[in-house]
Amino acid sequence: MAEKPIQGEKRVFMTGNEVVAWAALAAKADIMYGYPITPQNEIMHYWTRMAPKYGKRFLQTEDELSAGFTTLGGVLAGRKAFTATAGPGNTLMQEPLSMAEMMRIPSVVIIQQRGGPSTATVIYSQQEVTMTTYGGNGEGFRIVYSTANHQELFDYTIKAFNTAWKYRFPTFVLGDGYQAKMRESLTIYDPEDRGIELVKTEPFIGKEPVNGEKQPVHIRNTYNTEEELFEVITKYLEDYTRITPEIIEHQEFDCEDADIVVVSHGVVSRAAKGAVQELRNAGLKVGYFRPVTLRPFPADRLRAVADGTKTLLMVESSLGQMAKLVKDAIFGSTVAIATLFKPGVGVTSEEIVTKVKGML
């Protein structure tokens, strides 16, 4: 078997899907399960080319239900297992992922959002926010990182495995078709060389007997009574609330004296950043806020920002799926709300600049 997949630090120029495959290798993922869907296919393509060299495995399943459930099986066996999907595949995957929520199975899923509803486009959108954060029948006990560039795609894919296994909640890296297919530079590295400790895995089932004694485990997602379920959910909520401050991440600048704060996430935040910088250079009081974790949401900080400004301008490639999370987070604030929603379509800096100038 070859040694570490990544030696030292390396500046590379590649597509986002290739980045994810490298990151999964760097995170020492053991097995990927997957089903073809655009725009995530090349994650599987790169994984199946590289993985065997490092003793890793792959299974192509019959659909995303199966890709999701086999991933859960792999995790239950104590392996770092992951899958990737998009659009209608994400819809199917909500079933296994609700099981992951109920059973606290640390699965890792990469989502490359495409247009919706239905088959729509295979290209791009930010329309899988609601589904990825709160999909399935459940309460959204999940962790969702929304990345904006290839460096983050690499960093957060590695982080997703650690977060999942540390906190035992299903964890998602929410990318999109643009990030999947575009090429740009980033630095790839071995996380342990950088001092990032990789969280150890352990089997839920199929454990070796200890001192010759096997202690069988029985795990389930079905409960007999309402009270029994309530107790479990209450405990999960306590856990989730307790760890939220450790998990939430956001970025902001120029919010202190801003009259308008532009709120965006994922790839759209690239455009927002450029726009806010340009507007500031023009002497306009505009700020930038970007939630990196969409679930849990950096609610307290955004609430404070909302209270200190006049208007939040929410920009996203959907009809307000992020905006719902924002409004929930700032409930009670009297800040004005403006929107620039382009469902299934990219947003450029120029559009945001024009929008803001029209508001001032």
Q: Say whether residue 204 binds other proteins (CB under 8 A).
A: yes
Angstrom distances, CA of residue 246 to CA of 176, 200, 293, 299, 326: 25, 19, 11, 13, 20
Q: Say whether residue 249 binds other proteins (CB under 8 A).
A: no
Q: Is 198 exposed, middle or buried (0-12, 13-18, 19+ CB in 10 A)?
A: middle
Angstrom distances, CA of residue 307 to CA of 14, 32, 299: 41, 44, 12
Q: Say whether residue 200 binds other proteins (CB under 8 A).
A: no
Structure tokens at 54: 């490092």
- Report the nearest approach of other proteins to the CB of residue 330 (Å): 26
Choose the stretch contacting other proteins; rule: CB under 8 A; options: 17-25, 47-55, 219-227, 322-330: 219-227
Q: Say whether residue 251 binds other proteins (CB under 8 A).
A: no
From 6, 182, 232, 337, residue interacting with other proteins (rule: CB under 8 A)? 182
Residues 339 and 319: their CA atoms lie apart, in Å, by 9
Q: Say whether residue 127 binds other proteins (CB under 8 A).
A: no
Choose the stretch contacting other proteins; rule: CB under 8 A; options: 127-135, 176-184, 226-234, 236-244: 176-184
CB 243 within 8 A of CB 295: no
Choose the stretch contacting other proteins; rule: CB under 8 A; options: 210-218, 290-298, 305-313, 318-326: 210-218
Structure tokens at 122: 């295979």
- Report the nearest approach of other proteins to the CB of residue 251 (Å): 13
Cβ closest to other proteins, residue 208 vs residue 226: 208
- Report the nearest approach of other proteins to the CB of residue 296 (Å): 26
- Report the nearest approach of other proteins to the CB of residue 195 (Å): 25
CB 101 within 8 A of CB 319: no
C-alpha closest to that of 321 among 126, 174, 97, 121: 126
Per the DSSP assignment, residues forming a β-bridge with 250 are 291
> Under rule CB under 8 A, which residues in 337-356 are in contact with other proteins?
346-351
Cβ closest to other proteins, residue 136 vs residue 296: 136
C-alpha closest to that of 181 among 144, 156, 146, 153: 153
What number of other Cβ atoms are within 10 A of residue 262's Cβ?
A: 30
- Report the nearest approach of other proteins to the CB of residue 189 (Å): 18
- Secondary structure, 3-state, 51-98: HHHHCCEEEECCCHHHHHHHHHHHHHCCCCEEEEECHHHHHHHHHHHH
Q: Say whether residue 121 binds other proteins (CB under 8 A).
A: yes
Angstrom distances, CA of residue 105 to CA of 80, 130, 222, 286, 345: 11, 21, 15, 42, 34
Residues 327 and 245: their CA atoms lie apart, in Å, by 19
From 85, 149, 321, 333, residue interacting with other proteins (rule: CB under 8 A)? 149
Q: Say whether residue 76 binds other proteins (CB under 8 A).
A: yes
Q: Say whether residue 194 binds other proteins (CB under 8 A).
A: no
Cβ closest to other proteins, residue 219 vs residue 304: 219
Q: Say whether residue 324 binds other proteins (CB under 8 A).
A: no
The site string for other proteins over 13-52 (x = CB under 8 A, - otherwise) reads x----------------xx-x----xx-------------
- Total of residues contacting other proteins (CB under 8 A): 65
Cβ closest to other proteins, residue 146 vs residue 333: 146
Beta strands in 285-334 (DSSP E): 286-291, 293-295, 311-316
CB 107 within 8 A of CB 72: yes
Q: Which residues bind other proteins (CB under 8 A)?
A: 13, 30-31, 33, 38-39, 57, 59, 61-63, 65-66, 69-79, 81, 95-96, 99, 121-123, 149, 177-178, 181-185, 203-207, 209, 214, 216-222, 267-268, 270-271, 273-274, 346-351
